[in-house]
Structure 1
Amino acid sequence: MREEGLDVKVSSVYRLLKKFNESGTISCRPGSGRPSMITND
């Protein structure tokens, strides 16, 4: 990707394309585990 003036690794582009093709988005998925408790103090 450096030839086009972009400083991005090709592996990063492939990883994002794979993620987009599988889920339809590139945003982060929620993590596993119990969600943190929110209180109104």
Structure 2
Amino acid sequence: MPDYPSNISRAQFALIQPDLENFRKHTRPRRYDLYDVFNA
């Protein structure tokens, strides 16, 4: 994946990941890393 100025670091993502995980409904496991989806 290309690196863009708007991408956040893994350390920054770790701060918001719990909030993003809480919004998730109980569905099948993810195919893609949430960090990659967030930076897409």
Give the alignment's TM-score, normalised by structure 2.
Answer: 0.26
Larger Rg: 1
Give the alignment's TM-score, normalised by structure 1.
Answer: 0.25
